Structure 1
Amino acid sequence: MSDQENKIKSISVIADPILEGKLLERCLKLLRKVHEYERESKEQSGIKNKRFIRRGVHEVTKSIRKGQIGIVFLACDIYPVDIAAHIPILCEEKDIYYGYLGSKRTLGAACKSKRPASVLMIAFNKGQSVKDKPFEELYHKVTSGIKKIHPYL
């Protein structure tokens, strides 16, 4: 963990709650598993609309406003802060779990990308659920962990 803290140059003022330790590892593992499931389902069915990961401030904001549910992960080193300052407020209004993890590079690497990502969201439509997905148990562990440490939910 100290290795990752050294890579983050500046932590945002609004970065609360910061996910650390075992919860951080679970979150990154969840992002990898969801990305892998998304890729496999696209290969098997050939349908390109099976997307569970939303990436970027604009796309995540749009998903939240449309009423999708899930978990939002934000980078701690977003600068300027104004770019993503509205996302935690939207999440609290819609009862969506959110947390800050590592740097933008960490978020990008979690979904197998070489480009950094400021915000990621594991999103489901209102009718969809996590049931019968290979990452169901991990998803529930992450949501319960965020619920324990989150001061506003």
Structure 2
Amino acid sequence: MSSKADKKSKKRKAEDDVDAVVVEEKSSKKAKKEDVEIQISVEDLSPIAHPLAEKKLLKKLHKTIKKASKARQVKRGVKEVVKGIRKGEKGLLILAGDINPIDIISHLPIMSEEAQIPYIFVPSKEELGNASSTKRPTSCVMVCPDGKKKGKTGEESEDYRELYDEVVVEVNKLDTQIAFK
């Protein structure tokens, strides 16, 4: 009889171990969803990554991109961004600074200057993709607050618009500071 009791106790222990492993996996998934800062070395950044957002501005940019993607006012990827610029849409262009080869996005700063659209570089394409609500790394994002779809109205859009305007002012200051130094 003791052998049956031993088997049952072993079975219970095994089930408890499996439950413990599942709980650990769930906590690791939560950790992945949280904002994790990705460190990029200076050598990995492209030489044209100027102006580069600093930590405080970077946080505001990510917040703006997240709110804009929820409001469906974001263009993701080179193809969509180029199409938007050619059609004359206005907004803020955010480029990833760690794109290789550089030829993929090298024409975008010139196009945005010609269209008088402010642009800024962020260090990581992974963080940019994360902020724009995609699982994939994204090379560039254009936030277009006056897009075709004006579905959301109220406090959320006003809050997002204020944050967007604040970020655009800071990016414009950065552009002029670098141009005159």
Q: Provide TM-score, normalisation by structure 2.
A: 0.68
Relative to structure 1, the CA distance from residue 71 to residue 56 in structure 2 (aligned partners, 3 Å threshold; closer, same or farther) is: same
1:88 paired residue among 101, 109, 117: 109
Secondary structure in structure 2 of the residue aligned to 1:31: helix
CA displacement at 1:6 relative to structure 2: 3.9
Q: Which amino acid aligns with 2:62?
A: L
> For 1:113-124, what aligned pairs fall within 5 Å after superposition?
113-124=134-145
**CA-to-partner distance for each residue in 1:11-63, whole Å, 9 max, x for gaps?**
0010000011211110000001112223xxxxxxxxxxxxx111111110111
**CA-to-partner distance for each residue in 1:60-84, whole Å, 9 max, x for gaps?**
0111011000001000101111111
Structure 1 stretches of 4+ with a deviation exceeding 6 A read 126-129
**CA-to-partner distance for each residue in 1:84-140, whole Å, 9 max, x for gaps?**
1000000000110100012110110001211000010012558999x9623111011
Asked if the contact 1:19–1:101 (Cα under 8 Å) also holds between the matched residues in 2, the reply is: yes
Which residue of structure 2 lines up, in the alignment, with residue 75 of structure 1? 96
Q: Which amino acid aligns with 2:64?
A: L
Which residue of structure 1 lines up, in the alignment, with residue 47 of structure 2? 13
Secondary structure in structure 2 of the residue aligned to 1:79: coil
1:53 paired residue among 60, 69, 74: 74
Considering fraction of residues, name the structure with more strand. 1
Gaps in structure 2 of 5+ consecutive residues: 1-36
Secondary structure in structure 1 of the residue aligned to 2:38: helix
Relative to structure 1, the CA distance from residue 128 to residue 144 in structure 2 (aligned partners, 3 Å threshold; closer, same or farther) is: farther
Structure exhibiting the larger radius of gyration computed from Cα positions: 2
Gaps in structure 1 of 5+ consecutive residues: 39-51
Q: Which amino acid aligns with 1:141?
A: E
Relative to structure 1, the CA distance from residue 8 to residue 120 in structure 2 (aligned partners, 3 Å threshold; closer, same or farther) is: farther
Asked if the contact 1:76–1:100 (Cα under 8 Å) also holds between the matched residues in 2, the reply is: yes
Which residue of structure 2 lines up, in the alignment, with residue 143 of structure 1? 168
Q: Provide the aligned C-alpha RMSD in A.
A: 2.5
> For 1:93-104, what aligned pairs fall within 5 Å after superposition?
93-104=114-125
Relative to structure 1, the CA distance from residue 127 to residue 107 in structure 2 (aligned partners, 3 Å threshold; closer, same or farther) is: closer
Considering fraction of residues, name the structure with more helix. 2
Asked if the contact 1:91–1:97 (Cα under 8 Å) also holds between the matched residues in 2, the reply is: yes
Asked if the contact 1:67–1:125 (Cα under 8 Å) also holds between the matched residues in 2, the reply is: no
Secondary structure in structure 2 of the residue aligned to 1:19: coil
Secondary structure in structure 2 of the residue aligned to 1:69: coil
Count residues with an aligned counterpart: 137
